[in-house]
A and B are shown apart, each in its own frame.
Chain A
Amino acid sequence: MRTLLLLSWKNIWRNKGRSLALMMAIILGIAAGLLMFGLVAGLVMQRFNGLVENHLSHIQIHHKDYLREQENKMILPNPEQIRQGLEGLPNIKGYAFRTLSFGMLASGYNSSGVKITGINKAEEEGISKFKDNIIDGEYLDESLRNPLLISQRNARKLRVQLGGRVVLTFQNLEGDLTSAAFRVSGIFRTSDSNFDDLNVYVNQADLQELLGENEAYHQVAILLDSRDEAENIAGLLSEKLPEVDIRSWSALSPELRILVEQGGFIMYIFMIIILLGLSFGILNTMLMAVFERVQELGMLMAIGMTKVKVAAMIVLETTFIALIGGVIGVILGLGIHSLFAEEGLDLSGFADALAEFGYDAIIYPLLEAKDVGITIIMVFITAVLAAVIPAIRAVQLNPAEAVRK
C-alpha cells in the first residue's frame, strides 16, 4: 500500500503541467463555488433580518381569526392578560402592541389601498429598526395633528409632500366607514418595493380613537434573542394564552421559511453544472494520460502488478490532485470570502434592482461550515468518480501488446 501511495504521488509530478491544469480547474471550481454559496446565503440572511427588523419580528400574536379574515373589528381580547403573559418569559428582547386597519389612502389626485399600522414609538424602539428607513421628515411628529408616515413610492403616486394632507378611509369597530385627514410627517423607503406600496404608519392613539376603542390592538410583535428560539417560545406562550393565535416567523411568512430552507436550491443546480464540467475535464485528461502511458502501464503489469493495484494507482493519482486542489481551493475561497465578509460587497449600482427583489445594496456573504463541507465532499466525489473510467481502461490493457507499443 505504501508503495502504491508513493508511486501515485510521484506519478503526479512526472507531468507537472497536466497535474497543475487539473488542480487549477479544481481550485477555481471550489473557490468560486464557495464564494457563490456565501453570497447567496448572505442575501438570504439579509432578507431575513430585514423583514424581521422592519415589521415581522420573531413571533406575532393575533385574534384567533385575524390572519384569515383580516377584519378591522377582530381586536385582541384582553390585552392586559397578554402583557402579563409576556412578563417573565425567557429570551425576549422586546415586544410592541400594534393597531392595524385595512383601508384606502387618498389625496386630491389619487387613491390607493393600504394597510394602516398604528404604532407606539416607545415600544417599537425596542424591537424594530424601521425608523432607519425614514429618508425625509420626522418619525411621527407629535406636534402635528394626526401625523402619518408614507413611502416614497406612494408619496409620488399621490402627489403629496411633507406636511401635505391625505385622507384615510376605513371601517371602525362598529363596521361603519370612517374617514380622517392626516398630515405627512415623514417619508420612508425600505428595500422592498411591494411593502412600500402597501403600508402607511400612524400614531397608535390616533388610530384607536378613529376605531372607537382606546384599547384596540390587532397584533403583538415579539423580538427574541435568536430566531431558533421562536418555535419554543411560541409553544410556551400558546399554553399560557390559549384563546389567541400565536405564530412564529416561519408560520407567519412561509415565503421566508422557504427562502431560508431552500434558498440554496439554485446554487446547487449551479454547483452541479460546474461539477459536471469539472468531472468531464478530469475524465478526459486522465483518459488521455492513460493512453499516453500505455507502455508504462503494460510494463508494470508485465512485472507482476495486479490489475486492482493498477486501477487503484490511477484513482489515487486523481485523488491526490483533487486533495491538493481542494485544500488550496478552500483556502483561496475562504480568503476571498473573509475579505468581503467584513467590508461587504457593494452593489450600489444595482440598488434599485435589488430593491425589486427586496434586498439591500451591500451584501455580506455568509459561509457556514456545513456549506464548506458539502462543497469539498462534492468535488472530492466528483474527482474520484471521474477517475473510474480511465482506471477501467487501464485495467483492460493487454500487457503483452502494451509493452510493445
Chain B
Amino acid sequence: MNWILIFKLAWRNLWRNKRRTLITAGSILFAVILALLMDSMNLGSHEQIISNSLRFGTGYLQIQDTAYFETPSLDFAFDLDDHREAALNQLLGLHAYAVPRVESFVLAAGESETRGALVIGIIPELENRMNGFQNFLTEGEILNDDDQMVMIGSGLAQRLSLSLHDTLVVIGQGYQGMQAAGKYPIKGIISHPMEFLDNQLIYLPFEEASWLFVMDGKASHWLIMADTDKNALRVQQEIEKLLQGTELQVLHWKDLQPDLVKALAFDAVSGRIMQFILYVVIAFGIFGTVLTMTLERQKEFAILVSLGMKRHILALQCFIETILISILGVGAGIVLGFPVLFYFNRNPIPLGEGLSDLVKEYGMEPFLPFSLAPTVFIFQGVTMLILTLIITTYPVWRSLTFPVLENLRR
C-alpha cells in the first residue's frame, strides 16, 4: 500500500473543494471554541472559590495539634521550638511562608452593646501578603506588630455603635480556662468582603492576642501559604518529617475543608454533564456536515472504484481526509480560542446587579472568571478529536458499502 500516495490524494482532495473543507473545519472550530468557553468558565470559578477560601480561610496547609481539627480550642495551642521553626523556614524557601495565628471567640462590647465576635491574632505584614487585607481598610490605619490596638470589621463596628478611636472591650476564655479580658482602642475599620466575617471580625497583633489569651507566645495554629498547590504538597511531606515525634500534624486544605472539596466535585460533575450535552448537540451538527460532504461525492467515489481503486483504500483516504479536517479545525479552534479566553480572563464578565450581591455574600468577586489552565485546552482538544474520530466512521462505512452502478449514473 502506498501510504504517501494515499496521503497526498487526501491532502489534494481537501483543497480541491476548499469551501467544503472550510465549512467542515469551521464547524469543528466553532465547537472547540464553545467547549473551551464553557470549560474555562467552570474551572475559572473553581479557581476563584479555592483561592478565596485559601487566602481568607485555611491557607494551603495548616500545622495544628492533632486534636485541634475536631475541636478548635485554645487548649490545643502550641509553640514551635527554635530549632523546628528555623528548620521550617528553611524548608519553605522562597515558594512558601508560614503564618502563625491565634483564633478564638469572645464577647465584644462597646459603650452599651455586647455580642459574640471572632478574635484573630495576626502578623499584619504576613496577613497582607496572604490576602491583601490592607485594601479593605476603610478608616484609620493598619496595625503594627507591637500595637496594643485592634482593627474591626465594619459590620461589627456598626452593631456595637463604635467608631474609629473608640474603645472596644473583649471578654473570653483563654488558654486552659484562664480568664481573658482586655480593652483596646480601635485603630482601623475594615470592610471585609465576606459579610459573615465582617460582622464579627476583630484583628489583634499576634503578640497581643497571645498575651490576651494567656498563651505565652503560643499559636493556635500555623497557616502555610504556597505559590502553587504542587509546591504546597511537596512542602507538606517535608513538614511531616519535621513534625515527627511531636503532637502536631500538618493538614492540606483538602483535609481541612472536605465540604468544599465535595462541593467542587459536585459542581465539576454538573459542569461535565452540561459539556456532554453540548458535545452531543455539536456532534450531530458536525455529523450533518460530514454526511452531506460524503453524499455529495458519491459520483466521484463511484468513478474511482470503477476505475479500479480498492474500496478499503478509498475508505482509508476518507478517513485521512476527515482526520486532517478535524486536526485543522481543532488546531484553529485552539489558536483562535486562546485570545478569546485570554480576553475574558483579563476582562471577566460582570454579573447582573442582584446576582453580584449574592456572590459577594459568599465572599467572591462579582465576575464570571475564566481560566487559562493548559488542561482546559488539552482536554477540549483531545475530546473534540475523539468526537470527530467517531463521526469518521460514517464516511469510512459509506465508502466501503455504497452501490457503484447507481451512483455512476447520477
Contact = CB atoms under 8 A, between A and B. Distances in A.
A350 B107 contact: no
B292 A292 contact: yes
Nearest to A280: B30
B295 A353 contact: no
A106 B105 CA distance: 9
B159 A70 contact: yes
Contact of A159 (B71, B114, B289): B71
A258 B70 CA distance: 35
- Residue from the set A278, A280, A350 with the largest chain B CB neighbour count within 10 Å: A280
Contact of B115 (A28, A32, A113): A113
Contacts of B34: 273, 276-277
A29 B354 contact: no
Nearest to A357: B263
Interface in A261-316: 261-262, 265, 270, 273-274, 276-278, 280-282, 284-285, 287-289, 291-292
Nearest to B105: A111
Nearest to B115: A102
23 contacts: A18-B291, A21-B288, A28-B280, A28-B284, A29-B277, A32-B281, A36-B277, A103-B116, A110-B73, A159-B70, A171-B113, A175-B113, A273-B34, A277-B30, A278-B285, A280-B30, A281-B27, A288-B23, A288-B288, A288-B293, A289-B292, A350-B265, A350-B266
A252 interface: no
A157 interface: yes
Given A17-B291, A28-B280, A353 B262 contact: yes
Given A22-B284, A111-B104, A288 B73 contact: no
B173 A274 contact: no
A133 interface: no
B296 A158 contact: no
Q: How large is the interface on A (under 10, 10 to 19, 20 to 34, 35 or more residues)?
A: 35 or more
B173 A106 contact: yes
Contact of B282 (A15, A36, A281): A281
Contact of A255 (B37, B173, B269, B361): B361
A88 B125 CA distance: 62
A170 B72 contact: no
A356 interface: yes
Nearest to B288: A285
A114 interface: yes
Interface of B: 19-20, 23-24, 26-27, 30-31, 34, 37-38, 70-75, 104-107, 112-118, 159, 171-173, 177, 196, 200, 258-260, 262-267, 269, 274, 277-278, 280-282, 284-289, 291-293, 295-296, 351-352, 354-355, 357-358, 361
A251 interface: no
A24 B288 CA distance: 10
Contacts of B105: 104, 106, 110-113
Contacts of A193: 259
A107 B296 CA distance: 80
A284 B24 contact: yes
A291 B361 contact: no
B361 A277 contact: no
Contacts of A158: 71
Given A18-B295, A350-B265, A352-B258, A284 B37 contact: no
B259 A273 contact: no
Contacts of A259: 358
A258 B284 contact: no
A371 interface: no
- Residue from the set B159, B171, B289 with the largest chain A CB neighbour count within 10 Å: B289
- Residue from the set B20, B107, B280 with the largest chain A CB neighbour count within 10 Å: B107
A36 B107 CA distance: 46
A103 B296 CA distance: 78
Contact of A285 (B70, B177, B289): B289
Contacts of B30: 276-277, 280
A20 to B, nearest CB: 9
Contacts of B361: 255
Contact of B295 (A15, A24, A25, A114): A15
Given A113-B117, A285-B285, A353-B266, A277 B173 contact: no
Given A169-B107, A255-B358, A353-B266, 7 more contacts: A21-B287, A28-B284, A104-B106, A110-B73, A110-B74, A281-B27, A281-B286
Contacts of B291: 17-18, 21, 285
B20 A291 contact: yes
A45 interface: no
B31 A277 contact: yes
A274 B70 contact: no
Contacts of B351: 265
A355 B259 contact: yes
Given A17-B291, A156-B71, A288 B278 contact: no
A194 interface: yes
